[in-house]
């Protein structure tokens, strides 16, 4: 297993074609915008180092079912409901440790979904996708690699199916078949941790019909493969990392990352292809991946822990902590946050073994879990802003606080309770700003809404999977309606 330092060193060896703010990035390893996001992934290695964090041993590491070796859980295929439960606990722990998106959930969810769907395709068509996949998985585990999961296509005109688009590149698709592989073209959007990853795993974005079969593809490549172009996504307040890389950033250690990724006629060797035109399995792969990924939002309860802690601190620093309405708001935040974690655990405990041997979460409860995530973090953020007050969006900068002339005024009028350093009050207010309207809000709020599918996607699945007929039968029996 890699250490955090070894991971960071391995990133220096990657050669991404990366663009940010209209310019080519030539030194991604030391870029101040990227560095906090890379620290986040380094934390997934750091907490797996048992000598440093023995309390995380059971959640961060696990025994590989392929090799019998100890591996990072992010590279693991779930072998029991205990694995699913530990996944949720790991997500919350890392969310609280980093206060940000640690960018590896999509990797774990993609690997597990592919472990099942490649097996199912082989059973139907006599292909060897699962054999290829297991060889690839062993490589990922042995090298302790980070994979970027790529599912969401650009989609173009959303009223049209993939094959109906005026521009066929709006969905990633095959443009050429060769004896040794395929050539693909298109784009994937919103890719979490894209330029912090060793590998990129592509999957179809929706269910397909026969006419869409050129779009029903799944494959993996080294992230710096020729022809893959990365365009870095902007976030609110992102240049604060450059202008004032300390207090004004809020979270001074970690951050999240998203990219638009373009595949400009990229070659994929056959041994890296896990689905090729089996359109009838595209929807199944999407649904299984989505169920896992909706469970993964236990991380938001970890970030919620940070926001609740910050809200309690700012109340203490401002002298409002003993007010009954503040206590009530903190309790409301805790109740909402624990409900998020409870739903993630519920879908894990109710998981089951699939034919491939992989354990899958209860998909109904996974969708309920994610639908709550589209609401509760917003309520928690609203309460945090209420407790913190307007200073989170009107406070002068760190440079003003440290200015030789005006700094004394900023310090004087930002003072709260006696004995609390002004800088401490400023720092915790900036952290609340970060999580609710600034840099971290991309990870905590916008990602809560749209990550793993927007609310309607979960509503559709809940409607499909709820057994309304059973509920009706219970009601009929109890009120005396004949069956």
Tens digits of per-residue pLDDT, 380-407? 999 999 999 999 999 999 999 999 999 9
Instruction: Please say if 258 is a catalytic residue.
Output: yes
pLDDT at 243: 83
Task: Exactly one of 7, 297, 359, 444 is catalytic; name it.
Answer: 297
Question: Are 431 and 311 within 8 A, CB to CB?
Answer: no
Task: Please identify which residue in the block is written with the tokens 């035109």.
Answer: 277
Is 299 designated active site?
A: yes
User: What HEC string does 7-49 produce?
Assistant: HHHHHHCCCCEEEECCEEECCHHHCCCCHHHHHHHHHHHHCCC
Domain boundaries defined on the chain: 4-293, 294-479
Judge contact between 402 and 453, C-beta under 8 A.
no
Catalytically annotated residue among 199, 258, 278, 433: 258
Asked about 101 being catalytic, the answer comes back as: yes
**Active site includes 349?**
no
pLDDT on residue 339: 98
448, pLDDT greater than 80? yes
For the chain, report the end-to-end CA distance as a whole number of angstroms: 59
Is a pLDDT exceeding 80 seen at residue 245? no
At the top level of CATH, the class of 294-479 is mainly alpha
Cα separation, 209 vs 8, in Å, equals 42
Annotated catalytic residue 15: no
Q: How are beta strands 181-192 and 258-269 bridged, if at all?
A: antiparallel
Catalytic residue among 37, 44, 61, 192: 192
Reduced to 3 states (helix: H, G, I; strand: E, B; else coil), residue 359 is strand
The catalytic position among 299, 343, 347, 443 is 299
Alpha helices in 177-276 (DSSP H): 240-243
pLDDT value for 45: 97
- For the cut 80, the answer to whether the pLDDT of residue 51 exceeds it is no
- Per residue in 267-316, pLDDT tens? 999 999 999 999 999 999 999 999 999 999 999 999 999 999 999 999 99
Residue 85 has pLDDT above 90, yes or no: yes
Q: What is the pLDDT of residues 15-28, one digit of tens each?
A: 999 999 999 999 99
**Per-residue pLDDT reduced to its tens digit, 92-129:** 999 999 999 999 999 999 999 999 999 999 999 999 99
**pTM score of the predicted model:** 0.96
Task: For residue 297, indicate whether it is catalytic.
Answer: yes
The mean pLDDT value for 241-256 works out to 90
Task: Answer yes or no: is pLDDT of 57 > 90.
Answer: no
| Among 75, 78, 97, 105, the one annotated catalytic | 105
Q: Which position among 40, 75, 101, 347 bears the catalytic label?
A: 101
Q: Which of 28, 78, 198, 293 is catalytic?
A: 293
pLDDT value, residue 257: 95
For domain 4-293, give the CATH superfamily.
Butyryl-CoA Dehydrogenase, subunit A, domain 2 (2.40.110.10)
Residue 6 bears catalytic tag:
no
Predicted pLDDT of residue 307: 98
pLDDT value of residue 230: 98
What is the DSSP annotation of 427-475? HHHHHHHHHHTSTTHIIIIIHHHHTTS-HHHHHHHHHHHS-HHHHHHHH
Count CA within 13 A, CB hemisphere, residue 6. 12
> What is the per-residue DSSP string for 315-352?
HHHHT-TTSHHHHHHHHHHHHHHHHHHHHHHHHHHT-E
| Residue 447 appears among annotated catalytic residues | yes
């Amino acid at each position: 297993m890699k250490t955090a330092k070894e991971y960071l060193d391995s990133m220096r060896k990657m050669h991404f074609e990366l663009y940010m703010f209209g310019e080519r990035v030539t030194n991604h390893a030391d870029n101040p915008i990227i560095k906090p996001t890379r620290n986040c992934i380094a934390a997934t290695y750091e907490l797996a180092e048992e000598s440093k964090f023995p309390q995380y041993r059971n959640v961060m590491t696990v025994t590989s079912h392929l090799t019998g070796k100890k591996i990072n859980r992010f590279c693991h295929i779930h072998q029991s409901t205990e694995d699913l439960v530990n996944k949720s606990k790991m997500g919350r722990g890392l969310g609280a440790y980093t206060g940000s998106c640690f960018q590896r959930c999509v990797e774990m969810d993609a690997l597990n979904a592919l472990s099942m769907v490649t097996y199912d395709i082989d059973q139907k068509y006599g292909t060897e996708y699962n054999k290829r996949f297991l060889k690839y998985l062993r490589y990922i585990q042995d090298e302790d690699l980070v994979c970027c999961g790529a599912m969401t296509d650009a989609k173009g005109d959303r009223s049209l199916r993939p094959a109906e688009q005026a521009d066929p590149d709006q969905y990633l698709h095959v443009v050429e078949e060769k004896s040794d592989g395929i050539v693909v073209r298109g784009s994937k959007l919103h890719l979490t941790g894209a330029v912090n990853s060793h590998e990129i795993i592509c999957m179809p974005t929706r269910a397909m019909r026969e006419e869409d079969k050129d779009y029903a593809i799944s494959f993996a490549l080294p992230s710096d493969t020729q022809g893959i172009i990365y365009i870095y996504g902007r976030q609110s307040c992102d240049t604060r990392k450059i202008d004032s890389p300390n207090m004004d950033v809020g979270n001074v250690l970690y951050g999240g990352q998203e990219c638009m990724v373009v595949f400009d006629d990229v070659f994929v060797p056959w041994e890296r292809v896990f689905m090729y035109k089996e359109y009838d399995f595209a929807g199944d792969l999407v649904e299984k991946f989505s169920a896992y990924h909706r469970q993964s939002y236990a991380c938001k309860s970890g970030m919620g822990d940070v926001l609740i802690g910050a809200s309690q601190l700012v109340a203490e620093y401002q002298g409002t902590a003993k007010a009954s309405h503040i206590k009530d708001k903190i309790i409301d935040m805790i109740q909402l946050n624990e409900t998020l974690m409870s739903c993630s655990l519920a879908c894990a405990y109710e998981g089951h073994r699939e034919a491939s041997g992989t354990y899958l979460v209860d998909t109904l409860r996974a969708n309920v879990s994610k639908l709550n995530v589209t609401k509760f973090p917003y309520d928690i953020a609203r309460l945090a802003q209420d407790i913190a007050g307007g200073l989170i969006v009107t406070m002068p900068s760190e440079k003003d606080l440290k200015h030789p002339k005006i700094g004394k005024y900023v310090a004087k009028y930002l003072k709260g309770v006696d004995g609390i350093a002004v800088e401490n009050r400023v720092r915790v207010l900036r952290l609340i700003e970060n999580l609710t309207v600034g840099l971290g809000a991309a990870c905590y709020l916008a990602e809560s809404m749209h990550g793993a599918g927007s609310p309607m996607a979960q509503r559709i699945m809940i409607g499909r999977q709820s057994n309304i007929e059973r509920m009706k039968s219970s009601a009929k029996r109890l009120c005396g309606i004949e069956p």
